Amino acid sequence: AKNAGRNGYRFFDAAMTVAADERLRMEADLRRALTNGEFVLHYQPKIGTASRRLLGFEALIRWQQRDGSLVAPARFIPLAEETGLIGAIGEWALNTACQTLQRWRAEGLRNLSMSVNLSARQLRNPALPAQVQGALARSGIPPERLEMEITESVAMEDPARTVEILRELKAIGIGLSIDDFGTGYSSLAYLKLLPIDCLKLDRTFVTDIETDPNDAAICAATIRLAHTLGLSVVAEGVETVEQARYLDGLACDVMQGYYFSRPLPEAAARAFIINGVRG
């Protein structure tokens, strides 16, 4: 078993082992992060287009390292999803977001909503409706103040099943949004069946909205379609005043993006509520 061919193979095996070790180490790190409380939520404002008022926030998770640096969700959510750890991480995020909103409400900072992102595995977990009800009961926030965001591609993995699950969530009274809209391949027939309230227009269409006629046409058509179906539209990734004005012209309902604010740590989000929105 020690000929040259085998050597080649052994080298390959060794590389595979390193990758697997690395994965195991990261999985252990993620587990530890959860028990040590190393995850934090940042909150990005959602702004009413016509009113220019703060409507609420989207909770976005970060992994805070011991040196204070933050790891972006793109670097750990996929592994959390693969390993199933997303179940516990997602439930933590749901409860934490609800509790933060309730703290603000208790201070008199009312009429705000909180949006929480749902992964594919969370959506398929039969315990999800009970988890949502638990989070609402523990925090005491009214169901209509909580929204959940499901990406279009996750929603369309198994559209019939998605309809069932979303109906259960809708029965609780929470809001439901389709995230990254326009990047998946929704069938309009299913879109009509989904008990949703809102489409979130993906940032890729917003970025060049003033210069790319195709992007502008997609945004205009999506907004018209959504309004026809009785849905509101949130534009993601609004970075400039020109984009905000263009979306205003298309009667886009809500805007979110760096132009108004980056996602903020809890204390800064609270200050944003108090200080108000830029023009």
* List of residues contacting ligand C2E (CB under 6 A): 44, 60-61, 72-74, 77, 90, 93, 117-119, 149, 179-180, 236-239, 257-258, 263
Q: From Ca ion, ligand C2E, none, which one binds at residue 119 (CB under 5 to 8 Å depending on kind)?
A: ligand C2E
Instruction: Name the one range near Ca ion by CB under 5 A: 68-76, 94-102, 110-118, 262-270.
Output: 110-118
117 binds Ca ion (CB under 5 A): yes
Q: In the bound complex, what is the minimum distance in angstroms from residue 179's beta carbon to Ca ion?
A: 4
d(CA 213, CA 159): 31
Q: What is the CA radius of gyration of the chain?
A: 21
d(CA 13, CA 60): 38
What is the residue whose two structure tokens read 């989070």? 135
Q: Is 185 exposed, middle or buried (0-12, 13-18, 19+ CB in 10 A)?
A: exposed
- Report the residue closest to ligand C2E, judged by CB: 257
Instruction: Looking at residues 137 to 156 of the shown chain, list those that interact with Ca ion (rule: CB under 5 A).
Output: 149
Taking CB under 5 A as the rule, which mask of x and - marks residues 158-187 in contact with Ca ion?
---------------------xx-------
Q: From ligand C2E, Ca ion, none, which one binds at residue 11 (CB under 5 to 8 Å depending on kind)?
A: none
Q: From Ca ion, ligand C2E, none, which one binds at residue 258 (CB under 5 to 8 Å depending on kind)?
A: ligand C2E
Q: What residues have CB less than 8 Å from 194, skipping those under 6 apart? A: 155, 162, 163, 166, 176, 178
Backbone angles phi, psi at 105, to 5 degrees: -60, -40
